[in-house]
Structure 1
């Protein structure tokens, strides 16, 4: 069984810079490549450092959200502040969340691993709760000697 739990969370806001994922939603390899390219860019061009400068904590958020029938992906931080060029202010609701914990050798590997467990196993095994859409996020919480630790947070509703 995967390392996951159901947790109650307060509502929170993530400020993000993002892109539209243009790959077919069934083409996981292309989706992962677009996300990887995006993260490489935001790390190199200073966007991630700009976000960190207004963050409430050290967490880095990789948010997935459907907006106007488009698959969007954001690099973000938890904050009530804003930046002039930010793409979106993402509202996460108060309520129950599926939380999947993990560790990996890179943030991208962590995100891929947590997503696979969350959508391929945990949500399937949960019988009393369901994901009905809305933003979901991988949260990079810490790094130690090349190992990245984090969680995936998915808002769920009681069936």
Structure 2
């Protein structure tokens, strides 16, 4: 479809598990569409050049910079923002670990970092510290120094691995 720059196009996608629709001009960045049209304000806009990582969301389960994607490109896709992490029971295990390890301060970059960490943990069940630091190198944080983030991710990876091992296997290993 060809559209003039001032025309708004209906964009329908699945946001945090719910089908949502809104309107965007063809040049609207996905981050702005999420924040201003769909109300997902946990997605922060930083550099608008894909460098800082503050706007990271998951698009079809992959961490993606929402400032480098147009809203119209998200048509029909599944998007998850930081709002998807916490459930009715409260903060996710990753969010709780960030809190315990003081992995956030001002919080501006945290939403994007959490989304990258969650996607990373889905792919890498037993990461090394170097792998976690490498993943985090795609994000700019001026407050924390990253040490707490690394500790939080390693703790969650360990806890999730232990939870995935059947109790009978744990008992046999103790003998």
TM-score if structure 2 supplies the norm length? 0.29
Report which of the two has the higher share of strand: 1
Larger Rg: 2
